[in-house]
């Protein structure tokens, strides 16, 4: 049991480093800020956000993929939650844009405080409801959680290995192209040199400088 707990702590720490993001930043008036995140395929993503309110200011919040498909949007966002599951590996962005309402005399030069908490993968799953639905014991639900965390880690390593192989293939392909181009260039230079020699030989013969 002690070894299981130690393993659980190590796996949890490793996974949490990359599956939970909490941050706070300030968003000035009439400015748009976007946060980008690369996420794998078939991954559950959950987020919570909260913004301070400033009279006469309105903030629009959007979650987009790399093709600008809107996954979530909220006008006059103050506090809320969002969730989606990725269909493919992609770069997703969360954007906040604050504008001053034209019909309201609002103070300028102020900035909203934005708090954002994002969880994805195993950390985004609701294990409490899962335990109730499947009537799992605390130890069983912990084992399920550790299994999911371990699978997330395996998926990350598999992805990194595939990326490494892709980069290696790209480098090998580039090296082959460079080699072929070098050989082609040398052949062209050699052909040009032979042509120059033959041309000069004919020229000198025509001038009777050589026999």
Q: What is the pTM of this model?
A: 0.61
State how far the Cα of 134 lies from the Cα of 138, in Å rounded to an integer. Answer: 12
State how far the Cα of 62 lies from the Cα of 31, in Å rounded to an integer. Answer: 14
Q: What is the model's pLDDT at position 211? A: 64
Q: What is the model's pLDDT at position 125? A: 81
Tell me which CATH code domain 2-125 carries: 2.60.120.680
Q: What is the model's pLDDT at position 107? A: 61
Output the tens digit of pLDDT for each of the chain's 211 residues: 444 444 444 444 444 444 667 889 999 888 899 999 888 888 889 999 999 988 888 899 999 998 889 999 999 899 999 999 888 888 999 999 988 876 656 566 688 999 999 988 878 787 787 778 878 788 887 888 888 888 878 877 887 888 888 888 888 889 888 999 999 999 999 999 999 988 888 888 787 766 6
**Helices 2-19 and 138-206, axial angle in degrees (round to 10):** 50
Q: What is the model's pLDDT at position 156? A: 78
Q: How far apart are the first and last CA of the chain?
A: 99
pLDDT digits (tens, 9 = 90+) for 77-89: 999 999 998 888 8
Residue 166: helix, strand or coil by DSSP? helix
pLDDT digits (tens, 9 = 90+) for 144-161: 888 888 887 887 788 788
Q: What is the model's pLDDT at position 210? A: 67
**DSSP letter string, 102-147:** TTS---SS-EEEEEEEEEEGGGGS-HHHHHHHHT--HHHHHHHHHH
- In 72-103, which positions are buried (b, 16+ CB within 10 angstroms) versus exposed (e)? bebeebeeeebebebeeebebbbebbbebeee
Q: What is the model's pLDDT at position 30? A: 86
State how far the Cα of 93 lies from the Cα of 70, in Å rounded to an integer. Answer: 10
- In 125-134, which positions are buried (b, 16+ CB within 10 angstroms) versus exposed (e)? beeeeebeee
């Amino acid at each position: 049991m002690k070894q299981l707990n130690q393993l659980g702590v190590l796996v949890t720490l490793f996974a949490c480093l990359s599956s939970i993001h909490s941050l706070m930043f300030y968003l000035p008036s009439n400015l748009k800020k976007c946060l980008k995140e690369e996420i794998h395929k078939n991954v559950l993503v959950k987020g919570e956000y909260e913004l301070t309110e400033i009279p006469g200011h309105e903030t629009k919040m959007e979650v987009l993929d790399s093709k600008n498909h809107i996954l979530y949007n909220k006008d006059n966002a103050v506090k809320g939650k969002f969730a989606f599951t990725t269909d493919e590996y992609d770069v997703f962005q969360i954007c906040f844009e604050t504008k001053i309402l034209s019909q309201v005399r609002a103070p300028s030069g102020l900035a909203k405080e934005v708090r954002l908490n994002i969880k994805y993968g195993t950390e985004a799953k609701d294990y409490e409801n899962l335990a109730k639905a499947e009537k799992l014991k605390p130890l069983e639900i912990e084992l399920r959680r550790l299994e999911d965390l371990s699978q997330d880690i395996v998926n990350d390593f598999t992805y990194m290995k595939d990326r490494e192989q892709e980069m290696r293939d790209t480098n090998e392909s580039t090296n082959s192209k460079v080699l072929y181009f070098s050989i082609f260039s040398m052949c062209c230079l050699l052909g040009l040199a032979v042509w120059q020699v033959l041309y000069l030989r004919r020229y000198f013969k025509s001038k009777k400088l050589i026999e």
